[in-house]
Structure 1
Amino acid sequence: MNAIYLMLIGLAAMALGYFVYAKFICEKIFKVDPMFLTPAHELNDGIDYVPTNKYVLWGHHFTSVAGAAPIIGPAIAVIWGWVPAFVWVVLGTIFFAGVHDAGGIWASNRNQAKSIGSLTGDIIGKRARSCFMIVIFLLLLMVNAVFAVVIASQLISFPSATIPVWGAIVVALIIGQLIYRRSIGLMSVTLLGVIALYAMIYVGAELPVSLPEQVAGLNANQSWIIILFAYAAIASLLPVWVLLQPRDYINGIQLFIGLILFYGAVLAAGPEIVAPAFNTDLPEGTPSIIPILFVTIACGAISGFHGLVSSGTTSKQLDKEPDLRFVGYFGAVGEGSLALSAIIATTAGFATLGDWQTVYHSFGQGGVGAFIQGGGNILQQGLGLDNVLAETLLTVMVVLFAGTTMDTSLRLQRYIFQEWGVIYRIGWLQKPLQATLLAVGSCLLLAFGVGGDGSGGLLIWPLFGTTNQLLAGFTLLVITVMLVKRGRPMWYTLAPLLFLLIMTTLGLLIQLKSFYDQQDWFLLSLDIVVLIAAILISLESSWVLAKQIKANKAEAVNP
C-alpha cells in the first residue's frame, strides 16, 4: 500500500473530528460560554495566570503535550503491524484525546484553573485526591527524568542539533519581549522567529557542537542532563510570557512546518509501506497486542499527561472559554498527526521488508532511531534534502518536542509540591523556589541515584504507559462527574473512560506478573501502589457517580 493513502485518510479523519465532533462536544456537552470570566483574567498575576492569544496558547499546549512519546510509542507499536497502530491513533485522537484535552481545560477553567489532582478532592473526595496525587507525582518524575536522557542522547548522537536546540531558547526570549513589551504584531514576530530557527538548523548541520568527553569528572551524557535540569529549573520560575509561552509557540510553528515538510515529502516520493498490515511473524517475547497496544501508544491517541498540562498551565492562560476547542482539541489533532508521521516513517521509510525486520527484531525496538532513519529517507527521496540536513531536521523536531514538554512538566511538578503545601498547610512548601528545588532534586535523585550515570529514570519507565493511561482515565472520570452534576450527557466521556480503565488494569496485571517473574521487586512494589490507587479511586468515584445519577433521577421525578 502506498503511504499517501494512509496520510490522506488519517489527516482527513482528524480534520473531520475537529470541525464536526469537537464542535458538537464543546457547544452541546461542555456548553462553552464566551462571556465566562476565565481564571487568566480573574486571577491575572503576570506570572502563571496570563490571558493569552489562542494561537500562542495552542503553541504552548501542542508542544508541551507532544514530547518524544507520540513518536516513540507508534514507532514501537508498528511491530504488530501498521493497521492496529493507525486505527488506534486516528480513532484515539478523534474520540479520546481531543475530548480529554478540551475537557481537562474546561473542567479546570470552571474551577479557578485548579489542577486535575486538586479537582479530584473537590469533586470526588480527599482520599481519591491523595491517591491521584501519588500517581501524578510518579508520572511527572518519569517524564522529567527520562526526557532528560532522551534529549541528552540525541544531542550526543546528533551534534548538528545542538545550535538550533539551544538557539531556540534565545529566539523565544526575544519573541516574548517583542510581543509583550514592544507590542509587535504576532505575524511579523512569527515570520522572523521561524526564519531564525530554520537558519540555525542549517548552521547546525554545518557546525556540529559536542561537549567534551569529560567535564569535572562527568561524561557528556551526565553533563547534558545536569545542564538540562538547570535550564528547566530557571524556566519553571520565570513568568510564562518570558520564555514558556514564546518558546512553545515558535517551536509549535516550526514543528508544524516540519510536519508539513514531511507530509510534502510523502506526497512527492509516494513511498510504499513495506511493513505488514498485521504482523503474523512476531519476534519471540512480543506481548499480546491487547491490551499492550493501548498503553504502548499513549501520546498520539490519548495521554494522561495531557490532562496535567490542560489543567496545570493551559487553563491558567485561557483568554476566552471557546478557545479551548482550538487549543485543546486541535492540540490533540496536532499530536495525532505527529504520531501518524511516526507510523509512516517507520513503515514506509525502509527499502524492503527485510530492512524493516532487521530493525524490528524484538519488542521495544524502533523508537526515535527508526523514526529519524525512516523519516530521513523519505525527506531525501521526496525533497532531495542532504542526509545530514534531513536527520538534523528530524532530530531537532524530537528534541524540541521533548524539551518543551520537560519545561512544562517541571513547572507542573513544582505546582504539585505547592499544592501539597496548601493541602497540608506547609508554608515554606508553597513558595515557588523551594518547590522547584524539590522538583529538580527528586528528578536528579532518581537520575543519578540509580547507577550513577544520569539515566536512572529509565528504571521506572516501564510503568509509564500504564500509569499515563490510568491518569487519562481518572481525568475523564472527573470530567464525567462534573457533567453528571450539571445534568448533561455523560457517555461521550464515560465510554472512553471505561475502555481505558479496563485496558490499563489488564496492562498493570500483566506487568505485575512480568516484574514478579523477573524478580524486579522495586517495579513490582510501584506497580502494586499504582494498582491499589487505581482501585481505590475507581471505587470512590463509582460511588459518587452513582449517588449523583440517583439524585438527578429523583430531581427529575420531583422537580
Structure 2
Amino acid sequence: MSAIILLLLGLGGMAAGYFLYSRFIAEKIYQLDPDFRTPAHEYEDGVDFVPTNRYVLWGHHFTSVAGAAPIVGPAIAVIWGWLPAFLWVVFGTIFFAGVHDSGAIWASVRNRAKSVGALTGEVVGGRARSVFMIVIFLVLLMVNAVFGVVIAKLLINNPGAVVPVWGAIAVALVIGQLIYRRIIGLGIVSIVGVVALYALIYVGPQVPVSLPDSFMGLSASANWILLLFAYAAIASLLPVWMLLQPRDYINGLQLFVGLILLYGAVLLANPTVVAPMINHDVPAGTPSLLPLLFVTIACGAISGFHGLVASGTSSKQLNRETDARFVGYFGAVGEGALALASILAATAGFASLADWQAVYTAFGSGSLTAFVDGGAAILANGLGLDASVAATLLTVMAALFAGTTMDTGLRLQRYIFQEWGEIYQQKWMGKPFPATLLAVISCLLLAFGAGGADGSGGLLIWPLFGTTNQLLAGLTLLVITIMLVRRGRPAIYTLAPLVFLLVMTLAALLIQLKQFFEQSKWFLLGLDAVVLVAAILVTLECVAALKRSRQESTGEA
C-alpha cells in the first residue's frame, strides 16, 4: 500500500476536524467570547501572566505537549499493525484531543487560570482535588524524570545533535528579546529563527560534542541529566516571554518545516507501507490490542499532560478567549500530524517486511529507533539528503521537543507545589524558588534514588505513564463536562470521549496490576494500586458532582 494514501487521508481528516468540528465546539458548546477579559490581562505580571500573540502561544502549547511521546507511542503501537494506530491517531485527534485541549484552556480561563487540579476543588470538591493533584504530580514526575533520560541518551548516541539542541536555547533568548521588545516584526523573526536553527543542525554533525564516560564518579548519562535539570530549573523561573515562549515557537516552526520535508519526501519517493495492516503474528509477550492501544498512543490522540499545559501555562497567556480554538484544537492537530509522520516512518521507512520484523522483535522495540532510521531512509530516498544529516535532523527534532516538554513540565510541577502551599497555608512553598527547588529534588530523587548512579530511575515507573496519563485526560474531561452541565449546554461531546477513556484506562490498569503481580514487581504493583484507587475515588466524586449539577440545572429550568 502506498504511504501517500495514508498521508492524504490522515491530514485531510484532521484538517476537516479543525475547520468544521472545532468551529462547532468553540461556538456552540464552549461559546468562546472574544470580549471576555482573560486572566492574562487581569493578572498580567510580565512573568507567568503575559497576553501573547496567538501564533506564538500556539507554538508554546504545541511544542510543550508534543515532546517525544507522539513519536514514541505510534512507533511502538504499529506492532499491532498500521491500521489501528492510524485510526486512533486520526479520530482521536478530531474527537478527543482537540476537544480536550481547547476545553481545558476554556475551563481554566473561566476560573482565573487555575490548573485543572486546583479547578477540581471548585467544580467537584476538596476531596477530589486532593486525590486529583496526586495523580497530576505523578504524571509530571514521570514526564520530567523520563524525558531527562531520553534526551541524555539521544545526545550520547548522536553527538552531532549536541550543538543544535543547546544552541537552540541561545537562538530562543535572542528571538524572545526581538519579539517582546517589538524590535522586528514576527514574520522576519520567524524566518531568522528557523534559518538559525537549521544552520545549527547542519553544523552539528561537523562539531560533535561528547561528555567523558566518567566525571566525578558519574556516567555521561548522569551528567547530562544533571545539566538538563539545572537548565530546566533556571528556565522555569525566567519570565515566559524570555525563553519558554520563543523556544517553543521556533521549535514549532522547526517541526512544521521538518514535517513538510518528511511529507514532501513521502510524496516524491512514494514508499510502500511494508508493515501489515493488522499484525496477526505479533512477537511473544505482546499485550492485547484492546485496551493497550489506547494507552500506548496517548500524545497524538489524546493526553492528560495536554490538560496540564493548557490549564497551567497556556491559559495564563491567552490574549482572547476565542484564541483557545486555535491554540488548543489546532495544537492537537499539529501533534496528530507528528504522530502520523511517526506511523509513516515506522511502517514505510523499511525496504521489506522482513526488515520491519527484524526491528519489531518485541513490544516496545520500535520506539525512536524506528522513527529516526525509517524517517531518515524516506528523506534520503525522496529528497536525496545525506543519511547522517537526515538522522541528525530527526534526532534534533525529537530532542528539542522532549526538551521543551521538560521545560514546561518542571514549571508546571513548580505550580503544583505553589498551589499546595496555598491550599495548606505554607507561604514558603508558595514562592517560585522554593517550589522549583522541591520540583527538581523530587525528580532527582526518583532519577538517582530508584535508578542508581546513571539517573535512569524515571524509567522504573514509566510503564505506568500511559495509563496514568490517559486517566488524567478522562478526569479533565469530567471537570469540563460538569462545567458544561452547570451552564445548561450539551455535554455529549465531552461525555462520550471521557466514558471511553475511563473504561479503557481502568481496564488497562487492571491488566497491568495482574502483570506486575506475576512478575513480582512490587513497587509498580503498589503504585498501580494507588493510581487505580485514586481513579475510582475521583470518578465517584465527579459522578456525584455531575448528578448534583444536572439536578440544579433541571431545577433552574
* TM range, smaller chain: over 0.9
Could you tell me which residue of structure 2 aligns to residue 472 of structure 1? 473
- Say if 2:132 and 2:534, in contact at 8 Å, map to a contact too: yes
Q: In the alignment, residue 508 of structure 2 is paired with which amino acid?
A: G
Could you tell me which residue of structure 2 aligns to residue 459 of structure 1? 460
Could you tell me which residue of structure 2 aligns to residue 149 of structure 1? 149
- Alpha-carbon deviation of 1:210? 1.1
- Alpha-carbon deviation of 1:118? 0.3
- Alpha-carbon deviation of 1:122? 0.3
SS in 2 for 1:37: coil
Q: In the alignment, residue 440 of structure 1 is paired with which amino acid?
A: V
Deviations 1:39-95 (A, max 9, x none): 000000000000000000000000000010001100000000000000000000000
Q: In the alignment, residue 336 of structure 1 is paired with which amino acid?
A: G
**Matches of 1:170 and 1:551 in 2, distance apart?**
54
- Alpha-carbon deviation of 1:551? 2.2
**Matches of 2:329 and 2:180 in 1, distance apart?**
26
**Matches of 1:357 and 1:179 in 2, distance apart?**
48
- 2:394 pairs with 1:370: no
Q: In the alignment, residue 301 of structure 1 is paired with which amino acid?
A: A
- Alpha-carbon deviation of 1:550? 2.0
- 2:34 pairs with 1:68: no
**Matches of 2:147 and 2:434 in 1, distance apart?**
23
Could you tell me which residue of structure 2 aligns to residue 250 of structure 1? 250
- Say if 2:486 and 2:552, in contact at 8 Å, map to a contact too: no
**Matches of 1:180 and 1:459 in 2, distance apart?**
41
SS in 1 for 2:351: coil
Could you tell me which residue of structure 2 aligns to residue 404 of structure 1? 404
- Say if 2:154 and 2:399, in contact at 8 Å, map to a contact too: yes
Could you tell me which residue of structure 2 aligns to residue 345 of structure 1? 345
**Matches of 1:480 and 1:64 in 2, distance apart?**
25
**Matches of 2:60 and 2:182 in 1, distance apart?**
21
Could you tell me which residue of structure 2 aligns to residue 127 of structure 1? 127
- 2:27 pairs with 1:27: yes
SS in 1 for 2:474: helix
- Say if 2:50 and 2:317, in contact at 8 Å, map to a contact too: yes
- Alpha-carbon deviation of 1:452? 2.5
SS in 2 for 1:452: helix
| Residue pairs, 1:19-58, within 5 angstroms | 19-58=19-58
- Alpha-carbon deviation of 1:485? 0.4
Q: In the alignment, residue 518 of structure 1 is paired with which amino acid?
A: Q
SS in 2 for 1:460: helix
- Say if 2:219 and 2:453, in contact at 8 Å, map to a contact too: no
Q: In the alignment, residue 11 of structure 1 is paired with which amino acid?
A: L
Deviations 1:529-548 (A, max 9, x none): 10111111111111110121
**Matches of 2:381 and 2:465 in 1, distance apart?**
35
Could you tell me which residue of structure 2 aligns to residue 306 of structure 1? 306
**Matches of 2:179 and 2:272 in 1, distance apart?**
44
- Say if 2:464 and 2:528, in contact at 8 Å, map to a contact too: yes
- 2:393 pairs with 1:393: yes
**Matches of 1:487 and 1:256 in 2, distance apart?**
39
Could you tell me which residue of structure 1 aligns to residue 418 of structure 2? 418
Q: TM-score, normalised by structure 2?
A: 0.99
**Matches of 1:288 and 1:192 in 2, distance apart?**
48
Percent identity of paired positions between Structure 1 and Structure 2 = 71
Deviations 1:400-419 (A, max 9, x none): 01000000000000000000
| Residue pairs, 1:51-450, within 5 angstroms | 51-450=51-450
SS in 2 for 1:184: coil
- Alpha-carbon deviation of 1:503? 0.1
**212-221 vs 374-383, greater mean Cα deviation:** 212-221
Deviations 1:265-310 (A, max 9, x none): 0001000000000000111111110000000000000000000000
**Matches of 1:453 and 1:106 in 2, distance apart?**
41
**Matches of 2:453 and 2:543 in 1, distance apart?**
43
Deviations 1:228-257 (A, max 9, x none): 000000000000001000000011101111
Q: In the alignment, residue 22 of structure 2 is paired with which amino acid?
A: A
Q: In the alignment, residue 339 of structure 2 is paired with which amino acid?
A: A
- Alpha-carbon deviation of 1:364? 1.2
Could you tell me which residue of structure 2 aligns to residue 526 of structure 1? 527
**1-10 vs 203-212, greater mean Cα deviation:** 203-212
Q: In the alignment, residue 418 of structure 1 is paired with which amino acid?
A: Q
SS in 2 for 1:335: helix
**Matches of 1:183 and 1:420 in 2, distance apart?**
39
- Alpha-carbon deviation of 1:212? 1.6
Q: In the alignment, residue 279 of structure 1 is paired with which amino acid?
A: N
- Alpha-carbon deviation of 1:155? 0.3
**Matches of 2:137 and 2:153 in 1, distance apart?**
24
**Matches of 2:312 and 2:216 in 1, distance apart?**
37
**Matches of 1:180 and 1:545 in 2, distance apart?**
43
**Matches of 1:441 and 1:98 in 2, distance apart?**
34
| Residue pairs, 1:483-498, within 5 angstroms | 483-498=484-499
- Alpha-carbon deviation of 1:327? 0.4
Deviations 1:386-406 (A, max 9, x none): 011000000010000100000
- Alpha-carbon deviation of 1:182? 4.5
**543-552 vs 405-414, greater mean Cα deviation:** 543-552
User: 5+ unaligned residues in a row in structure 2: which ranges?
Assistant: none
**Matches of 1:361 and 1:375 in 2, distance apart?**
19
SS in 1 for 2:179: helix
Q: In the alignment, residue 126 of structure 2 is paired with which amino acid?
A: K
Could you tell me which residue of structure 2 aligns to residue 514 of structure 1? 515
**Matches of 1:441 and 1:403 in 2, distance apart?**
18
**Matches of 1:299 and 1:444 in 2, distance apart?**
24
- Alpha-carbon deviation of 1:553? 2.0
Could you tell me which residue of structure 2 aligns to residue 544 of structure 1? 545
- Alpha-carbon deviation of 1:365? 0.8
**Matches of 1:252 and 1:183 in 2, distance apart?**
21
Root mean square deviation of aligned Cα: 0.6
**Matches of 2:411 and 2:389 in 1, distance apart?**
33
- Say if 2:64 and 2:309, in contact at 8 Å, map to a contact too: yes
**Matches of 2:78 and 2:475 in 1, distance apart?**
27
- Alpha-carbon deviation of 1:183? 3.2
SS in 1 for 2:191: helix
Deviations 1:180-210 (A, max 9, x none): 1243210111111111001110000222111
- Say if 2:487 and 2:553, in contact at 8 Å, map to a contact too: no
Could you tell me which residue of structure 1 aligns to residue 505 of structure 2? 504
Q: In the alignment, residue 26 of structure 1 is paired with which amino acid?
A: A
**174-183 vs 406-415, greater mean Cα deviation:** 174-183
SS in 1 for 2:453: coil
- Alpha-carbon deviation of 1:489? 0.2
**Matches of 2:360 and 2:477 in 1, distance apart?**
34
- Say if 2:304 and 2:476, in contact at 8 Å, map to a contact too: yes
- Alpha-carbon deviation of 1:555? 2.6
**Matches of 2:239 and 2:488 in 1, distance apart?**
38
**Matches of 1:189 and 1:508 in 2, distance apart?**
46
Q: In the alignment, residue 546 of structure 1 is paired with which amino acid?
A: K
